[in-house]
Chains A and B, each alone.
Chain A
Amino acid sequence: MIPSGDYIRILPEIVLSIFGMLVMVIDPLLGENDDRKSIGVVSAIGALLALGATFIMAGHPGEAFYNILRVDDFAVFFHVVVILIALACILMSFEYLKVQEIRQGEYYGLILFGTVGMCLMSSAIELVMLFVAIEISSISTYILAGFRRRAAESAESSLKYFLLGSFATAFFLYGIALMYGATGSTNVDAIAAALRQGTPVMAYLAIALMMVGLGFKVAAAPFQVWTPDVYEGAPAPVVALMSTGPKAAAFAVLLRVLFGTAAPGWFWAVWIAAALSMTIGNFGALVQTNVKRMLAYSSIAHAGYLLVAFIAVRNMEQGVSAAMFYTAAYAAMNVGAFAVVSHFASAGEKYVSIEDYAGLGRRSPVLAAVLTVFLLSLIGIPITGGFFAKFYVFRAAVSSNLIWLTVIGLVNSAIGSYYYLRLLVMMYMKEPQSEESVPSVPFAAGFAMAGCVVATLYLGVFPNRVLQFAIESARTLVH
């Protein structure tokens, strides 16, 4: 008999699933020409309720369903981050779907289901559960990437994402199988206990394979090649989701797997991956002309910064909390940036090249100012969340004596500022090329942008509470 408390520990997932199904049911009930916005409203309510459910869940920490899930501060943190990301993406999709003439209710359903997967990823402590959660989130995003069905780029992006994603999952699974062989268990705690006894060679192989799989999911070099293509082709709000949500969740998995299992031997692998990701990401972004591709490369670079926190092994608590803070800050600024991009893209995603942003500061001062906040945060300028995110990561690195990696990282971030700056230059220092007026921002998308601005600045001015929470949850994770 499963104790009823267990259901509370998956309450957000239950709420999200119910609303996901509700959306799927409502869609065919609406007439062919009805406005599909109501579906969006329903799913936004679902996300909000799930957020509430997370707080109820937070009051009941502990294991659930025969030790396959654990609700701790760590899980709560990522639940909140992921659900907020989903909410923002839903809000910015109202207008986007209308402009792009995508009229399917499943879109929102898939976002909600995908969120279920991401939430479960952060609380799973059993590798079977973890695998199922990863698949739920991945399959939803594979489909979402191809949602502009009439655009060949979108279908292509979806296909690429699918092929590389499932290839990566297969690696991850092979790693799990070997880990099971090496330790006789698929539970994170039991694996940790077994690995403390001694480390069979197979366990190293298993960790390596699992890291390949997760490396694909977080788009860390050298497994980053799919990112720019997929981000360029996929619908902009979906990119907002998949560049942050599954990534945050995958980082949660990495943290749980690497720290939770006390797995050995990944220090140099992550060191190299971090250095490579930062360098490839930043240099790749320098030459891009498409904003979505540029942000894709920037997301590779940011994955690199985040990985730096992982190897701050001398002070794991600092490292883990820095990584958590980074995911939150990155989510706020990147979702915000994509919200602006998806609003500005207009029908058929016409305006996505950097040149199109020329004179935006004149054509739409507010939109430009909003994007400026996100870009400054991505550069890492003070009073934005991006600054503290980087600051915490590199502080953890310096405390662990990773001076070289810190130097590589900070020099990279200085180089990186150039391409964000290019967009700023376009917006403020070039004259507009088109006389067409920028459509005014509708309420829902505006709300999403405002939320991201507030979150970015909040994390930049009062990072204390979030960081404290991250430190406490890191404590529960590392013990």
Chain B
Amino acid sequence: MAEITTLHYLVVAAALFLTGVIGVLTRRNVIIILMSIELILNAVNLNLVAFSRLYNLHGQVFAIFIIADAAAEAAIALGILIAFFRNKETVNMDEVDLLKW
């Protein structure tokens, strides 16, 4: 069986990144958009850890920071979403229309 090289990780990460970007741009449900952003962050993590194999531990440390930050962002996101839901009773981006895009 072929060895798994750094390149393989990078391809997977790029695929995740693209999935995330497409998700953000095409999905209308705020929760799914949030999840897509998380996907991008995970792609970043994967990249960092993969590169970490080549160089030093910095990449892995960075990944840990990103995980922590993702948690913080998720908390804020849900808070904002609840505030929004109270006002508008929806989580659909199409109905976020008070302000012109």
> Do A and B interact directly, with beta carbons closer than 8 Å?
yes
Interface residues of A (CB under 8 A from B): 127-128, 131-132, 135, 139, 142-143, 146, 149-153, 155-160, 162-163, 166-167, 170-171, 173-174, 176-178, 180-181, 184-186, 225, 228-229, 232-233
| Contact partners of B34 in chain A: CB under 8 A | 163
Evaluate whether A139 and B73 lie within 8 angstroms (CB atoms) in the complex, with A177-B48, A184-B55 already known. yes
**Contact present for A173 and B83 (CB under 8 Å):** no
Q: List 16 A-B contacts (CB under 8 A).
A: A139-B76, A142-B76, A142-B80, A153-B99, A156-B84, A157-B99, A159-B80, A166-B37, A170-B20, A174-B40, A177-B44, A177-B48, A180-B62, A184-B55, A228-B100, A233-B99
**Contact present for A152 and B44 (CB under 8 Å):** no
Residue of A nearest to B79 (CB): A143
Is there a chain A Cβ closer than 8 Å to B58's Cβ? Answer: yes
Residue of A nearest to B93 (CB): A163
The one of B58, B79, B81, B96 in contact with A186, judged by C-beta atoms closer than 8 angstroms, is: B58
In the complex the two chains form, what is the Cα distance from A365 to B56 in whole Å?
A: 64
Interface SS of chain A:
helix
The one of B44, B51, B56, B80 in contact with A158, judged by C-beta atoms closer than 8 angstroms, is: B80
User: In the complex, which of the residues A128, A152, A153, A166 has the most CB atoms of chain B within 10 Å of its own CB atom?
Assistant: A166
**Contact present for A170 and B41 (CB under 8 Å):** yes
**Contact present for B99 and A229 (CB under 8 Å):** yes
Nearest Cβ on chain B to A115's Cβ, whole angstroms:
18
| Contact partners of A166 in chain B: CB under 8 A | 37, 73, 77
Evaluate whether A167 and B98 lie within 8 angstroms (CB atoms) in the complex, with A143-B79, A180-B48 already known. no
Evaluate whether A143 and B76 lie within 8 angstroms (CB atoms) in the complex, with A177-B51, A180-B59, A232-B99 already known. yes
Q: Which interface class (under 10, 10 to 19, 20 to 34, 35 or more) fits B? A: 35 or more
**Contact present for B51 and A180 (CB under 8 Å):** yes
Residue of A nearest to B33 (CB): A163
| Contact partners of A170 in chain B: CB under 8 A | 20, 37, 40-41, 44
The one of A127, A152, A163 in contact with B98, judged by C-beta atoms closer than 8 angstroms, is: A152
In the complex the two chains form, what is the Cα distance from A454 to B58 in whole Å?
A: 46
Interface residues of B (CB under 8 A from A): 10, 13, 17, 20, 24, 30, 33-34, 37, 40-41, 43-44, 47-48, 50-51, 54-56, 58-59, 61-62, 65-66, 69, 72-73, 76-77, 79-81, 83-84, 86-88, 96, 98-101
| Contact partners of A132 in chain B: CB under 8 A | 65, 69
Nearest Cβ on chain B to A185's Cβ, whole angstroms:
7
In the complex the two chains form, what is the Cα distance from A139 to B71 in whole Å?
A: 12
The one of A152, A171, A177 in contact with B87, judged by C-beta atoms closer than 8 angstroms, is: A152
| Contact partners of A159 in chain B: CB under 8 A | 30, 80-81, 84, 96
| Contact partners of B61 in chain A: CB under 8 A | 128
| Contact partners of A229 in chain B: CB under 8 A | 99-101
| Contact partners of B76 in chain A: CB under 8 A | 139, 142-143, 162
Residue of A nearest to B62 (CB): A128
In the complex the two chains form, what is the Cα distance from A467 to B77 in whole Å?
A: 41
| Contact partners of B13 in chain A: CB under 8 A | 177
Contacts A143-B79, A146-B84, A177-B47 supplied; 15 other A-B pairs, CB < 8 Å:
A132-B65, A135-B69, A139-B72, A139-B73, A155-B80, A160-B99, A163-B30, A167-B24, A173-B40, A174-B44, A177-B62, A180-B48, A184-B55, A233-B98, A233-B99
**Contact present for A128 and B80 (CB under 8 Å):** no
Residue of A nearest to B96 (CB): A156
Evaluate whether A186 and B62 lie within 8 angstroms (CB atoms) in the complex, with A146-B83, A166-B77 already known. yes
| Contact partners of A178 in chain B: CB under 8 A | 47
Residue of A nearest to B64 (CB): A128
Nearest Cβ on chain A to B40's Cβ, whole angstroms:
4
| Contact partners of A135 in chain B: CB under 8 A | 69, 72-73
Residue of A nearest to B81 (CB): A159
Nearest Cβ on chain B to A127's Cβ, whole angstroms:
8
In the complex the two chains form, what is the Cα distance from A170 to B77 in whole Å?
A: 15
